[in-house]
Structures are given as structure tokens and as C-alpha cells.
Amino acid sequence: MPEYENPEVPEGINVSEEHPLKEFILLACGIGAAVAVVLFALTLLAQNAAKAIPFEMEKKLAANAIFSADTENLKSSEFEKYLSTLANKLAKQQGLPEGMTITLHYSNQNIVNAFATLGGHIFVYRGLIDKLPHENALAMVIAHEIAHIRHRDPIIAMGRGATMMLILALFTGGDSAVAQQFLGQIGLVTALNFNREQELAADVVALETLQAYYGHVNGAEVLFEVLGEEEGEVPLAFLSTHPMTQSRIDHVISFRDEHDGRGELTPLPEYQ
């Protein structure tokens, strides 16, 4: 009959020879890397999914959030009608997809800014218009913002969270109170930040739009010249959301040189 032994278990058999702090750091780094990979994949998925969201859905959800904000300084005037007419003419030149509409808002605030946000809404401030010498420079601004909407840049810029909320609303019939509350909290009337590629792409379309509308691009470069002169004096809201990179300036000059840059400039109407 075999004999059985119960040998004593050596001490420390379940204890790693590595320092506990080192193990913790390695584990934390591994988890952090895994989370980063997952978040990156979700971000790419959300950005690709954003363009698939119907524009009508975007407009419906954006409306309450935009107009629940303080609109005290938004003007309803003859000048705003002029701006809306100009925006619609420029949008027509861009050939927006069916169902995609532009709504322009004019603010009387002395802020040097203009931006596009969800649902086809564009905000233009008096502070920026005050610095522009003619309609052609203003048209460059508006055509640029229309191009952002055409490329669906606002919904992409809102990030993964907003996109997921919009997707949720899409599957709940567009009446998701959660989605509307989320969009309201992140503040749709604030300017969105677009990357350099998005800004340059919007410039390209804006220049093509001006060429088609006026028959020339004379005056488009003035926007960059005026804002470039002001940049060193005071921080401009427009430049914080529309980085003035050299590649953008070079492209405008190159486009002007390749096309007719000597056309007649159109004056701005009175709007004070």
C-alpha cells in the first residue's frame, strides 16, 4: 500500500518576485492602453456614423437646444433678410443635398465671429461684419460656413457623445428627451472647433462658390488680411475656432492667381 505524504508548502509560493508597485504600474498601463484603443475605435465609428444621420433628424433635435438659449441679441431686420438672401444664393451655388437647408442668424453683438452649428444654423456677428469692407469678403465667410454644414462638420465636431445621442433619438422616433437635454447642455449656440483639414476643405468650396456666384474671387483674401492685422492686437473669437494657418492663406492666394482676381467688388448695404 503506497504511503502518502503532505509536504509543507514553501513560503511565498503565491507571491511574485516583482515589486508590487511595478506590477500595479504595468497593470494600470495595460488597462489604460486598452481603454484608449476602445475609445479611439468608438470615436472613429461615431464620426463615420455621424454623416449617416438624416439631416432632418439633426434639424429636429437641434432646434429646441438652439432656440432655448438666450437669443436676446439676435436681430430680425432688413439687414438680416439681406444676409439670409445672400446665404441662400451662395448655398444654391454649392448644390446642397436635398433636404439640407441653411438658416442664418444675425447677432448685434460686437463679437468678431461667425460659425456654423447643427441643423444648418449659421450665426454671424456685427463685430465681424464691421471689419469687412465689402460683400465679397462677407460672402467668403458665409460660403465657408455653408461648406461646413454641407460636409456635416458640426455633427462630427460635436463628438462621440452627441452622435450617440442622435443615433439613440433616431431609433426612438426622434423624440428622445434624453438626447434633447444632452444637446441643450453642451450648448449648440457656442462655436465648434474644426480641424485644419476641415477648415481647408471649407475654404476650397467657399472659393469655388464665390467664383461661380460673382464670376471672380476678388476680395476673398481680404478676410484673411483683415483678421491677420487684428490678430496681434486682441484675441478674436473667429480665429479661435477658425485657425489662420499659412496653408489656408496660401491656398486662397493660389486660387485667386489661377482665376480672375480682378472683378468688381460689391459694397455692403447699410446695417447700423
Section 91-95 average pLDDT: 96
Beta strand residue intervals within the chain, DSSP E: 74-75, 103-107, 114-117, 121-125
Q: Is the confidence at residue 12, as pLDDT, over 90?
A: no
Domain contains 215: yes
Is the whole model's pTM more than 0.85, yes or no? no
Domain contains 97: yes
Q: Is the confidence at residue 48, as pLDDT, over 90?
A: no
Between residues 142 and 70, the one the model is more confident about: 142
Section 248-259 average pLDDT: 86
Report the pLDDT value the prediction gives residue 181, as an integer from 0 to 100.
55
Domain contains 244: yes
Domain contains 120: yes
Confidence of residue 244 (pLDDT cuts 50, 70, 90): confident
The range of the structural domain enclosing residue 106 comes to 54-157+187-258
Report the pLDDT value the prediction gives residue 62, as an integer from 0 to 100.
74
Torsion angles phi and psi, residue 11, rounded to 5 = -70, 140
Q: Is the confidence at residue 154, as pLDDT, over 70?
A: yes
Q: Is the confidence at residue 197, as pLDDT, over 70?
A: yes
Report the C-alpha gap between 83 and 86 in whole angstroms. 5
Domain contains 48: no
Taking only the tens place, the pLDDT of each residue in 213-241 is 999 999 998 888 887 776 555 556 787 77
Which ranges of 95-152 does DSSP label H, i.e. alpha helix?
126-129, 135-150
Domain contains 3: no
Report the C-alpha gap between 226 and 1 in whole angstroms. 101
Sheet of strand 74-75, all strands in order from the earlier edge strand to the far edge: 74-75, 103-107, 121-125, 114-117
The HSE-up count of residue 232 (CA atoms within 13 Å, CB side) is 3
Number of domains composing the chain: 1
Q: Measured between alpha carbons, how far is residue 76 from residues 84, 105, 106, 172 in Å?
A: 11, 8, 8, 35
